[in-house]
A = this chain, B = another copy of it.
Amino acid sequence: MREFKRLTPYREALEMMLKDLGELNEIEEVPLSEAFGRVLAEDVVSPMDSPPFDRSAVDGYALRAEDTFPAREYSPVELRVVDEITAGEESRARVEPGTAIKLMTGSKMPEGANAVLMQEMAERDGDIIRVLRPVAPGQNVAFAGEDVRKGEIILRKGQVLRPQDLALLKSVGFRTVKVKRKPRVGIIVTGDELIEEFNEEALKAGKLLESNSAMLKGLVRQYFSEPIFYGVVPDKEEAIKSVIEKAKKENDLVLVTGGSAFGDKDFAHRFVKLLFHGTTIKPGRPIGYGEGVFIMSGYPVAVFAQFHLFVKHALAKFVGAKNYEVRIRAKLTDRIPSQLGRYEFVKVWYENGEARPIKKKGSGMISALVESNGYIEIPEDSEGYLEGDIVIVVIY
Protein backbone atom coordinates (compact mmCIF):
# COMPACT_ATOMS: atom_id res chain seq x y z
CA MET A 1 0.00 0.00 0.00
CA ARG A 2 1.15 3.51 -0.78
CA GLU A 3 1.58 5.64 2.27
CA PHE A 4 2.36 9.32 2.68
CA LYS A 5 6.04 9.76 1.87
CA ARG A 6 6.23 12.73 4.13
CA LEU A 7 3.75 14.33 6.50
CA THR A 8 3.83 18.08 5.92
CA PRO A 9 4.14 19.87 9.26
CA TYR A 10 0.88 21.63 10.13
CA ARG A 11 2.14 25.22 10.06
CA GLU A 12 3.92 24.64 6.77
CA ALA A 13 0.80 23.13 5.19
CA LEU A 14 -1.34 25.97 6.53
CA GLU A 15 1.01 28.59 5.08
CA MET A 16 1.09 26.86 1.68
CA MET A 17 -2.68 26.76 1.58
CA LEU A 18 -3.14 30.38 2.69
CA LYS A 19 -0.56 31.59 0.19
CA ASP A 20 -2.40 29.78 -2.58
CA LEU A 21 -5.75 31.41 -1.81
CA GLY A 22 -6.45 35.03 -2.65
CA GLU A 23 -8.80 37.43 -0.97
CA LEU A 24 -12.12 37.78 -2.78
CA ASN A 25 -12.47 41.11 -4.57
CA GLU A 26 -16.23 41.23 -4.86
CA ILE A 27 -17.89 43.65 -2.52
CA GLU A 28 -21.59 43.92 -1.74
CA GLU A 29 -23.30 46.96 -0.32
CA VAL A 30 -25.96 45.74 2.09
CA PRO A 31 -28.43 47.52 4.38
CA LEU A 32 -27.25 47.62 7.99
CA SER A 33 -30.19 45.45 8.97
CA GLU A 34 -28.73 42.59 6.89
CA ALA A 35 -25.09 43.10 7.77
CA PHE A 36 -24.92 41.19 11.07
CA GLY A 37 -22.19 38.56 10.82
CA ARG A 38 -20.90 39.81 7.46
CA VAL A 39 -17.30 40.93 7.03
CA LEU A 40 -16.35 44.57 6.44
CA ALA A 41 -14.72 45.04 3.03
CA GLU A 42 -12.88 48.27 3.78
CA ASP A 43 -11.96 50.65 6.57
CA VAL A 44 -14.85 52.94 7.46
CA VAL A 45 -14.19 56.62 8.04
CA SER A 46 -16.71 58.69 9.96
CA PRO A 47 -18.25 61.45 7.81
CA MET A 48 -19.09 63.50 10.90
CA ASP A 49 -18.36 64.25 14.51
CA SER A 50 -20.49 62.30 16.93
CA PRO A 51 -22.06 63.89 18.79
CA PRO A 52 -22.17 66.54 16.04
CA PHE A 53 -22.49 69.29 18.70
CA ASP A 54 -21.98 69.63 22.42
CA ARG A 55 -25.06 68.21 24.03
CA SER A 56 -26.49 67.57 27.43
CA ALA A 57 -25.94 64.14 28.90
CA VAL A 58 -28.83 64.53 31.36
CA ASP A 59 -32.21 66.20 31.79
CA GLY A 60 -31.47 69.49 33.56
CA TYR A 61 -30.39 73.10 33.28
CA ALA A 62 -27.69 74.46 30.98
CA LEU A 63 -25.79 77.21 32.79
CA ARG A 64 -22.45 78.97 33.20
CA ALA A 65 -20.39 76.96 35.69
CA GLU A 66 -18.78 80.19 36.95
CA ASP A 67 -22.18 81.41 38.15
CA THR A 68 -22.47 78.43 40.50
CA PHE A 69 -19.03 78.58 42.13
CA PRO A 70 -20.29 80.49 45.19
CA ALA A 71 -23.26 78.11 45.68
CA ARG A 72 -23.55 76.47 49.10
CA GLU A 73 -26.46 74.63 50.69
CA TYR A 74 -26.88 77.40 53.24
CA SER A 75 -26.48 80.06 50.56
CA PRO A 76 -27.86 78.88 47.20
CA VAL A 77 -27.23 80.68 43.93
CA GLU A 78 -30.41 81.69 42.12
CA LEU A 79 -30.62 81.57 38.31
CA ARG A 80 -33.46 82.65 36.06
CA VAL A 81 -34.76 80.07 33.54
CA VAL A 82 -35.03 81.92 30.23
CA ASP A 83 -36.02 79.07 27.91
CA GLU A 84 -37.07 75.44 27.90
CA ILE A 85 -36.39 72.98 25.09
CA THR A 86 -36.94 69.29 24.54
CA ALA A 87 -34.56 66.87 22.89
CA GLY A 88 -34.20 67.60 19.20
CA GLU A 89 -35.04 71.26 19.70
CA GLU A 90 -32.56 74.10 19.64
CA SER A 91 -32.81 77.10 21.89
CA ARG A 92 -32.59 80.50 20.23
CA ALA A 93 -31.80 82.04 23.57
CA ARG A 94 -28.33 82.49 25.00
CA VAL A 95 -27.28 81.70 28.54
CA GLU A 96 -26.20 85.07 29.94
CA PRO A 97 -24.75 85.47 33.42
CA GLY A 98 -27.40 84.68 36.02
CA THR A 99 -29.58 82.63 33.69
CA ALA A 100 -30.17 79.01 32.74
CA ILE A 101 -32.04 77.08 30.03
CA LYS A 102 -33.96 73.91 30.78
CA LEU A 103 -33.17 71.07 28.40
CA MET A 104 -33.27 67.33 28.02
CA THR A 105 -30.83 64.50 27.59
CA GLY A 106 -29.41 64.84 24.09
CA SER A 107 -30.36 68.52 23.70
CA LYS A 108 -27.86 70.74 21.94
CA MET A 109 -26.05 72.96 24.43
CA PRO A 110 -27.28 76.54 24.16
CA GLU A 111 -24.76 79.28 23.46
CA GLY A 112 -23.13 80.73 26.51
CA ALA A 113 -23.60 77.59 28.62
CA ASN A 114 -20.69 75.33 29.57
CA ALA A 115 -22.24 72.86 32.04
CA VAL A 116 -25.53 71.20 32.93
CA LEU A 117 -27.06 70.86 36.38
CA MET A 118 -29.07 67.65 36.78
CA GLN A 119 -32.76 68.37 37.13
CA GLU A 120 -33.04 66.58 40.48
CA MET A 121 -30.23 68.72 41.95
CA ALA A 122 -32.10 71.99 41.37
CA GLU A 123 -34.84 73.51 43.49
CA ARG A 124 -37.31 75.12 41.13
CA ASP A 125 -39.63 77.93 42.04
CA GLY A 126 -41.45 79.47 39.09
CA ASP A 127 -38.83 80.97 36.79
CA ILE A 128 -36.11 80.59 39.36
CA ILE A 129 -33.87 77.63 40.17
CA ARG A 130 -31.75 77.45 43.30
CA VAL A 131 -28.38 75.82 42.92
CA LEU A 132 -27.04 74.33 46.16
CA ARG A 133 -23.57 73.20 45.08
CA PRO A 134 -21.03 74.37 42.49
CA VAL A 135 -21.14 72.77 39.05
CA ALA A 136 -17.82 72.13 37.31
CA PRO A 137 -17.23 73.39 33.77
CA GLY A 138 -18.09 70.63 31.32
CA GLN A 139 -20.15 68.71 33.84
CA ASN A 140 -22.89 66.58 32.21
CA VAL A 141 -21.88 67.80 28.77
CA ALA A 142 -21.15 65.33 25.96
CA PHE A 143 -18.75 67.21 23.73
CA ALA A 144 -18.83 67.24 19.95
CA GLY A 145 -16.70 64.43 18.55
CA GLU A 146 -16.36 62.81 21.96
CA ASP A 147 -17.61 59.46 20.66
CA VAL A 148 -16.23 59.67 17.13
CA ARG A 149 -14.37 62.38 15.21
CA LYS A 150 -15.03 63.29 11.59
CA GLY A 151 -12.40 61.60 9.42
CA GLU A 152 -11.52 59.02 12.07
CA ILE A 153 -11.40 55.33 11.11
CA ILE A 154 -14.19 53.86 13.17
CA LEU A 155 -14.13 50.28 11.93
CA ARG A 156 -11.39 48.31 10.25
CA LYS A 157 -11.56 46.13 7.17
CA GLY A 158 -12.02 42.50 8.17
CA GLN A 159 -14.31 43.18 11.11
CA VAL A 160 -16.99 40.50 11.43
CA LEU A 161 -19.87 42.89 12.08
CA ARG A 162 -21.48 42.75 15.52
CA PRO A 163 -24.64 44.55 16.69
CA GLN A 164 -22.64 47.38 18.28
CA ASP A 165 -20.66 47.91 15.07
CA LEU A 166 -23.94 48.38 13.22
CA ALA A 167 -25.07 50.89 15.84
CA LEU A 168 -21.87 52.89 15.41
CA LEU A 169 -22.27 52.96 11.63
CA LYS A 170 -25.88 54.09 11.96
CA SER A 171 -24.98 56.75 14.54
CA VAL A 172 -22.78 58.55 12.02
CA GLY A 173 -25.29 58.39 9.22
CA PHE A 174 -24.62 55.16 7.31
CA ARG A 175 -27.61 53.14 6.16
CA THR A 176 -25.65 50.56 4.21
CA VAL A 177 -22.22 49.01 4.55
CA LYS A 178 -19.76 47.44 2.15
CA VAL A 179 -19.05 43.83 2.96
CA LYS A 180 -17.25 41.00 1.20
CA ARG A 181 -19.33 38.65 -0.86
CA LYS A 182 -19.93 35.42 1.07
CA PRO A 183 -17.47 32.75 -0.01
CA ARG A 184 -19.25 29.89 -1.76
CA VAL A 185 -18.22 26.49 -0.52
CA GLY A 186 -19.07 23.32 -2.42
CA ILE A 187 -19.46 20.21 -0.28
CA ILE A 188 -19.02 16.78 -1.83
CA VAL A 189 -19.41 13.63 0.25
CA THR A 190 -18.04 10.43 -1.25
CA GLY A 191 -18.44 6.80 -0.24
CA ASP A 192 -20.28 3.71 -1.50
CA GLU A 193 -20.96 2.74 2.09
CA LEU A 194 -22.99 5.85 2.87
CA ILE A 195 -26.75 6.08 3.10
CA GLU A 196 -28.77 9.22 3.72
CA GLU A 197 -31.79 7.78 5.50
CA PHE A 198 -32.21 5.35 8.33
CA ASN A 199 -32.64 1.84 6.88
CA GLU A 200 -32.23 -1.04 9.25
CA GLU A 201 -31.52 -3.60 6.53
CA ALA A 202 -28.85 -1.48 4.89
CA LEU A 203 -27.23 -0.73 8.25
CA LYS A 204 -27.21 -4.43 9.09
CA ALA A 205 -25.51 -5.11 5.79
CA GLY A 206 -22.70 -2.72 6.70
CA LYS A 207 -23.86 0.66 5.41
CA LEU A 208 -23.21 3.86 7.28
CA LEU A 209 -25.36 6.93 7.86
CA GLU A 210 -23.74 9.96 6.26
CA SER A 211 -23.32 12.87 8.70
CA ASN A 212 -20.56 15.08 7.30
CA SER A 213 -22.85 17.14 5.09
CA ALA A 214 -24.99 18.37 7.99
CA MET A 215 -21.90 19.24 10.00
CA LEU A 216 -20.06 20.99 7.19
CA LYS A 217 -23.08 23.04 6.15
CA GLY A 218 -23.33 24.33 9.71
CA LEU A 219 -19.60 25.02 9.98
CA VAL A 220 -19.49 26.87 6.67
CA ARG A 221 -22.42 29.06 7.75
CA GLN A 222 -20.76 29.69 11.11
CA TYR A 223 -17.81 31.22 9.26
CA PHE A 224 -19.63 33.81 7.12
CA SER A 225 -19.90 31.59 4.05
CA GLU A 226 -22.52 29.88 1.93
CA PRO A 227 -22.54 26.07 1.62
CA ILE A 228 -23.67 24.32 -1.55
CA PHE A 229 -24.14 20.58 -1.15
CA TYR A 230 -23.44 18.35 -4.14
CA GLY A 231 -24.81 15.22 -2.54
CA VAL A 232 -23.34 11.84 -1.75
CA VAL A 233 -21.27 10.58 -4.67
CA PRO A 234 -20.43 6.89 -5.07
CA ASP A 235 -16.80 5.77 -5.28
CA LYS A 236 -16.73 5.83 -9.08
CA GLU A 237 -13.78 7.53 -10.69
CA GLU A 238 -15.83 9.30 -13.38
CA ALA A 239 -18.60 10.40 -11.03
CA ILE A 240 -16.15 11.91 -8.58
CA LYS A 241 -14.15 13.57 -11.31
CA SER A 242 -17.12 15.27 -12.89
CA VAL A 243 -18.67 16.51 -9.64
CA ILE A 244 -15.35 17.94 -8.47
CA GLU A 245 -14.93 19.76 -11.78
CA LYS A 246 -18.44 21.16 -11.60
CA ALA A 247 -18.03 22.23 -7.98
CA LYS A 248 -14.69 23.90 -8.70
CA LYS A 249 -16.32 26.06 -11.37
CA GLU A 250 -19.19 27.08 -9.13
CA ASN A 251 -17.41 27.75 -5.84
CA ASP A 252 -14.53 29.55 -4.19
CA LEU A 253 -13.62 26.45 -2.23
CA VAL A 254 -14.55 22.79 -2.50
CA LEU A 255 -14.59 20.30 0.36
CA VAL A 256 -14.51 16.61 -0.54
CA THR A 257 -14.96 14.18 2.32
CA GLY A 258 -13.94 10.55 2.08
CA GLY A 259 -11.27 9.00 -0.07
CA SER A 260 -8.41 11.13 1.19
CA ALA A 261 -6.07 8.18 1.77
CA PHE A 262 -4.53 5.93 -0.86
CA GLY A 263 -7.02 3.07 -0.85
CA ASP A 264 -8.07 1.49 -4.14
CA LYS A 265 -11.23 3.58 -4.07
CA ASP A 266 -9.64 6.86 -3.05
CA PHE A 267 -10.00 8.76 -6.28
CA ALA A 268 -10.43 12.37 -5.32
CA HIS A 269 -6.74 13.22 -5.07
CA ARG A 270 -6.15 12.03 -8.61
CA PHE A 271 -8.10 14.92 -10.10
CA VAL A 272 -6.58 17.73 -8.13
CA LYS A 273 -2.98 18.90 -8.21
CA LEU A 274 -2.32 18.89 -4.49
CA LEU A 275 0.13 21.25 -2.81
CA PHE A 276 0.28 18.90 0.13
CA HIS A 277 -1.31 15.59 0.97
CA GLY A 278 -0.78 14.11 4.38
CA THR A 279 0.04 16.39 7.31
CA THR A 280 1.10 16.04 10.91
CA ILE A 281 -2.36 16.84 12.26
CA LYS A 282 -4.10 14.29 14.45
CA PRO A 283 -6.85 13.43 13.86
CA GLY A 284 -7.20 14.20 10.16
CA ARG A 285 -3.71 13.38 8.90
CA PRO A 286 -4.62 12.46 5.31
CA ILE A 287 -5.92 15.93 4.42
CA GLY A 288 -4.84 17.24 1.04
CA TYR A 289 -5.17 20.65 -0.56
CA GLY A 290 -4.68 22.11 -4.01
CA GLU A 291 -6.49 24.28 -6.59
CA GLY A 292 -9.05 25.46 -4.04
CA VAL A 293 -10.03 21.89 -3.17
CA PHE A 294 -9.67 20.19 0.19
CA ILE A 295 -9.58 16.40 0.18
CA MET A 296 -10.79 15.51 3.64
CA SER A 297 -11.34 12.41 5.74
CA GLY A 298 -14.54 10.43 5.88
CA TYR A 299 -14.85 10.36 9.64
CA PRO A 300 -16.72 13.31 11.13
CA VAL A 301 -14.30 13.89 13.99
CA ALA A 302 -11.36 14.07 11.59
CA VAL A 303 -13.36 16.32 9.26
CA PHE A 304 -14.21 18.59 12.18
CA ALA A 305 -10.54 18.94 13.14
CA GLN A 306 -9.54 19.52 9.52
CA PHE A 307 -12.19 22.20 9.23
CA HIS A 308 -10.97 24.11 12.28
CA LEU A 309 -7.27 23.71 11.52
CA PHE A 310 -7.47 24.52 7.80
CA VAL A 311 -10.81 25.35 6.21
CA LYS A 312 -11.86 27.98 8.76
CA HIS A 313 -8.67 29.92 8.13
CA ALA A 314 -9.18 29.64 4.36
CA LEU A 315 -12.65 31.17 4.69
CA ALA A 316 -11.25 33.96 6.86
CA LYS A 317 -8.57 34.61 4.24
CA PHE A 318 -11.19 34.95 1.47
CA VAL A 319 -12.92 37.80 3.27
CA GLY A 320 -9.97 39.13 5.25
CA ALA A 321 -11.79 38.37 8.53
CA LYS A 322 -9.99 39.28 11.72
CA ASN A 323 -12.15 38.65 14.79
CA TYR A 324 -13.42 35.20 13.87
CA GLU A 325 -12.03 33.20 16.77
CA VAL A 326 -12.40 33.30 20.54
CA ARG A 327 -9.08 32.16 22.01
CA ILE A 328 -8.97 31.99 25.78
CA ARG A 329 -6.62 30.82 28.49
CA ALA A 330 -7.54 27.93 30.75
CA LYS A 331 -6.04 25.63 33.30
CA LEU A 332 -5.94 21.96 32.35
CA THR A 333 -7.76 19.59 34.71
CA ASP A 334 -5.84 16.54 33.48
CA ARG A 335 -2.65 15.82 31.69
CA ILE A 336 -2.79 15.35 27.94
CA PRO A 337 -0.09 13.14 26.48
CA SER A 338 0.73 13.92 22.86
CA GLN A 339 2.70 12.06 20.25
CA LEU A 340 5.93 13.75 19.19
CA GLY A 341 5.74 14.66 15.53
CA ARG A 342 1.96 15.04 15.51
CA TYR A 343 0.05 18.32 15.71
CA GLU A 344 -2.79 17.25 17.96
CA PHE A 345 -6.31 18.67 17.97
CA VAL A 346 -7.63 17.93 21.46
CA LYS A 347 -11.29 18.45 22.27
CA VAL A 348 -12.02 19.99 25.65
CA TRP A 349 -14.88 21.20 27.78
CA TYR A 350 -14.18 24.72 29.01
CA GLU A 351 -15.90 25.96 32.12
CA ASN A 352 -14.98 28.23 34.99
CA GLY A 353 -11.42 28.85 33.88
CA GLU A 354 -10.69 25.16 33.43
CA ALA A 355 -10.33 22.97 30.35
CA ARG A 356 -11.21 19.32 30.75
CA PRO A 357 -9.94 17.07 27.94
CA ILE A 358 -12.63 14.82 26.46
CA LYS A 359 -11.28 11.34 26.86
CA LYS A 360 -13.31 9.48 24.25
CA LYS A 361 -10.95 8.48 21.48
CA GLY A 362 -11.57 7.46 17.92
CA SER A 363 -12.47 9.47 14.89
CA GLY A 364 -15.93 7.91 14.83
CA MET A 365 -16.83 9.49 18.17
CA ILE A 366 -19.18 12.29 17.21
CA SER A 367 -20.50 12.25 20.77
CA ALA A 368 -17.07 13.44 21.91
CA LEU A 369 -17.46 16.51 19.69
CA VAL A 370 -20.86 17.14 21.18
CA GLU A 371 -19.46 16.92 24.71
CA SER A 372 -16.80 19.51 23.91
CA ASN A 373 -16.99 23.27 23.44
CA GLY A 374 -13.49 24.01 22.28
CA TYR A 375 -10.10 22.64 21.37
CA ILE A 376 -6.44 22.85 22.27
CA GLU A 377 -3.65 22.59 19.71
CA ILE A 378 -0.49 20.68 20.67
CA PRO A 379 2.44 21.30 18.31
CA GLU A 380 4.64 18.56 16.88
CA ASP A 381 7.54 19.24 19.24
CA SER A 382 5.48 18.85 22.41
CA GLU A 383 4.88 15.63 24.33
CA GLY A 384 1.74 17.17 25.75
CA TYR A 385 0.67 19.15 28.77
CA LEU A 386 0.50 18.43 32.46
CA GLU A 387 -2.42 18.82 34.81
CA GLY A 388 -2.55 22.45 35.89
CA ASP A 389 -0.77 23.78 32.80
CA ILE A 390 -2.17 26.95 31.30
CA VAL A 391 -3.28 26.34 27.72
CA ILE A 392 -5.05 28.25 24.95
CA VAL A 393 -8.55 27.03 24.19
CA VAL A 394 -10.27 27.96 20.95
CA ILE A 395 -13.99 28.09 21.69
CA TYR A 396 -16.41 26.67 19.11
Contact = CB atoms under 8 A, between A and B. Distances in A.
A207 interface: yes
Contacts of A229: 33
Contacts of A167: 211-212, 214-215, 300, 304, 366, 369
A378 to B, nearest CB: 18
B208 A87 contact: yes
B170 A211 contact: yes
A132 to B, nearest CB: 15
A14 B16 CA distance: 51
A231 interface: no
A369 B215 contact: no
Interface string A365-396: 11101101100000000000000001000011
Nearest to A218: B163
A171 interface: yes
A299 B59 CA distance: 13
Nearest to A323: B373
A33 B353 contact: no
Interface in A209-257: 209-219, 221-222, 229, 235
Contacts of A43: none
Nearest to A52: B203
Nearest to A197: B175
A310 to B, nearest CB: 15
Q: Which of A214, A326, A362 has the most CB of B within 10 A?
A: A214
B142 A362 contact: yes
A289 B260 CA distance: 57
Interface string A33-49: 10010000000000110
A282 to B, nearest CB: 14
Contact of A366 (B164, B218, B265): B164
A175 B214 CA distance: 9
Contacts of A350: 328
A198 B218 contact: no
A381 to B, nearest CB: 22
Contacts of A154: 367, 370
A263 interface: yes
A169 interface: yes
A194 B171 CA distance: 10
Contacts of A168: 211, 366-367, 369-370
Contact of A32 (B169, B194, B214): B214
Nearest to A118: B1
A170 B369 CA distance: 14
B367 A221 contact: no
A204 interface: yes
A269 interface: no
Interface string A117-135: 0011000000000000000
A143 B305 CA distance: 22
Contact of A166 (B87, B203, B214, B362): B214
Given A214-B167, A215-B163, A261-B59, A88 B192 contact: yes
Interface stretch (A63-71, A72-80, A103-111, A335-343): A103-111
Contacts of A33: 213-214, 217, 229
Contact of A218 (B47, B105, B162, B211): B162
Given A147-B364, A163-B214, A328-B350, 7 more contacts: A33-B213, A86-B192, A88-B191, A106-B208, A142-B362, A167-B214, A169-B211
15 contacts: A1-B119, A33-B213, A33-B229, A86-B235, A87-B193, A87-B206, A88-B207, A107-B206, A147-B367, A148-B366, A154-B367, A163-B216, A163-B222, A168-B369, A328-B353
